[in-house]
């Protein structure tokens, strides 16, 4: 792993050399602090930061969390010493250029022949922008999304004052095409949201079919690939790849969202929104007498709902993609181990007497349930495994997550349990760190031993 103790001092030195070309005003007395005060506060900070789960550990397979790559940290910290603002070119010309470069690379990854886009502070804001353009493009029309789509779509429809329509999901958590066709036939829908990598299950909506139906009914297509977007790099139908068809259709979308702060190895927050038609920039038109004056080139704030945005985020992503490019052998090589780990774990659940596999993983999210005969027993056992696996010495802990399901969802996947409860929690794990692949057999064995001791 890259040694940041070697590189971070070089970052400080590089910025110091640049700053030395200008007049040195020194530090104002109001900003001077003594090292003893800083030492005390810093010690307290580092102690308080230990109140966290070990997101870095291969044994942390709970939520969609992992530390950024050292290259991203180095890029972010180096640029942060200057603190550029990518809202306008006069706020950060260097990082604005980097942002345009990385956004172009993301557009190429998705096959967009042309694009307009930018980075955002989160996937939520990226989706808000995409739905804002959807509203402006088809005023008065509803936005449809699957029952397994992220709740941000319903929430942002409310924010935007747009009707949101939920489309039922099939027995793998993907948008049901027959249900979509029925809703589109009403003429109410202006945009369909397809999810590539649902937050709960990592399911891939059938994008080719969605595109065909949406186009037939005159609707737009927005692809929420916040979680699964970077799997486009290994969408080759190979044993340790993912299905090619959904990702092959991204070039036909009107807008796409992806989160570099997930599989793109970036620190929070770094989302991105891409539009296939640059003409949608007209919806952002505004006037500002105190910005956009240093250049006639497009300022990123002219195509963004956000104003101030950290230029450091662009620098972090740019540096990362310089050393881990958006290719199968670049960043794609960091995705395959997690995919293999998920498939291995799924097979272990299928062979287990302590767990049952909930459904096959389409990406790197694994879902499974304790082998029990009733809803209430599955719920209780899942909660017990969740709690007990995270206890004990740090080196023994395993961190998983839970996922709520209904009797109907279980039956659709072949799990016929006694319905003595209206819902149950099952177990869910995200194998998004490549280091976790080698740890999967041990993790599984540990969880099995816990499950067998639970009454």
Tokens of 104: 């172009």
Q: How far, in Å, are 85, 119, 138, 290, 296 from residue 287 at the CA level?
A: 18, 21, 24, 9, 14
Q: Name the residue among 109, 126, 98, 115 with its Cα closest to residue 332.
A: 109
CA angle 176, 365, 143 (to 5 degrees): 35
Strands ordered across the beta sheet of 164-167: 116-120, 271-275, 255-258, 220-224, 189-195, 142-146, 164-167
Q: Name the residue among 48, 68, 61, 62 with its Cα closest to residue 269.
A: 68
Ordered by where they begin, the domains of the chain are: 78-323 (3.40.640.10), 332-453 (3.90.1150.170)
Per-residue pLDDT of the chain (455 residues; tens, 9 = 90+): 689 999 999 999 999 999 999 988 788 999 999 999 999 999 999 999 999 999 999 999 999 999 999 999 999 999 999 999 998 888 899 999 999 999 999 999 999 999 999 999 999 999 999 999 999 999 999 999 999 999 999 999 999 999 999 999 999 999 999 999 999 999 999 999 999 999 999 999 999 999 999 999 999 999 999 999 999 999 999 999 999 999 999 999 999 999 999 999 999 999 999 999 999 999 988 777 666 656 667 778 888 999 899 999 999 999 999 999 999 999 999 999 999 999 999 999 999 999 999 999 999 999 999 999 999 999 999 999 999 999 999 989 999 999 999 999 999 999 999 999 999 999 999 999 999 999 999 999 999 999 999 97
Longest dimension (CA), the chain: 76
What global pTM score does this model have? 0.96
């Amino acid at each position: 792993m890259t040694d940041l103790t070697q590189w971070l001092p070089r970052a400080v030195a590089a910025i110091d050399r640049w700053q030395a070309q200008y007049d040195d005003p020194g530090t104002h007395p109001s900003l001077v602090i003594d090292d003893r005060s800083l030492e005390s506060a810093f010690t307290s900070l580092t102690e308080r930061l230990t109140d966290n789960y070990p997101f870095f550990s291969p044994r942390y397979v709970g939520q969609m969390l992992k530390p950024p790559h050292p290259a991203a940290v180095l890029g972010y910290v180096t640029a942060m010493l200057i603190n550029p603002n990518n809202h306008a070119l006069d706020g950060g010309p260097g990082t604005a250029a980097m942002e345009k470069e990385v956004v172009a690379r993301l557009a190429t990854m998705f096959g967009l022949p042309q694009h307009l886009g930018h980075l955002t502070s989160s996937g939520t804001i990226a989706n808000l922008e995409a739905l804002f353009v959807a509203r402006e493009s088809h005023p008065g029309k509803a936005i449809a999304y699957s029952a397994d789509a992220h709740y941000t779509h319903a929430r942002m429809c409310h924010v935007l004052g747009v009707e949101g329509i939920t489309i039922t999901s099939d027995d793998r958590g993907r948008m049901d095409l027959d249900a979509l066709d029925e809703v589109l036939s009403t003429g109410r829908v202006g945009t369909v949201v397809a999810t590539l990598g649902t937050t709960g299950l990592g399911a891939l909506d059938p994008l080719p079919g969605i595109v065909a139906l949406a186009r037939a009914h005159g609707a737009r297509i927005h692809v929420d690939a916040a979680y699964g977007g970077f799997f486009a790099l290994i969408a080759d139908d190979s044993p340790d790849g993912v299905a090619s068809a959904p990702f092959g259709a991204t070039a036909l979308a009107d807008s796409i969202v992806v989160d570099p702060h997930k599989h793109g190895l970036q620190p929070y927050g770094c989302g991105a929104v891409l539009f296939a038609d640059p003409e949608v920039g007209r919806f952002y038109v505004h006037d500002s007498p105190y910005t956009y004056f240093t250049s006639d080139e497009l300022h990123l704030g002219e195509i963004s709902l956000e104003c101030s945005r950290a230029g450091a985020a662009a620098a972090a992503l740019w540096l990362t993609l310089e050393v881990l490019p958006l290719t199968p052998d670049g960043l794609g090589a960091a995705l395959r181990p997690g995919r293999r780990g998920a498939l291995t774990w799924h097979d272990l659940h299928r062979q287990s007497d302590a767990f049952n596999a909930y459904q096959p993983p389409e990406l790197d999210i694994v879902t499974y349930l304790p082998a029990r005969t009733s809803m209430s027993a599955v719920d209780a056992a899942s909660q017990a495994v969740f709690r007990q696996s995270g206890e004990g010495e740090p080196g023994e802990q395993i961190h998983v997550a839970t996922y709520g399901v209904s009797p109907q969802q279980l039956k659709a996947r072949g799990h016929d349990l006694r319905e003595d409860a209206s819902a149950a929690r099952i177990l869910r794990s995200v194998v998004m760190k490549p280091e976790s692949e080698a740890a999967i057999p041990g993790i599984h064995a540990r969880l099995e031993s816990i499950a067998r001791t639970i009454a």
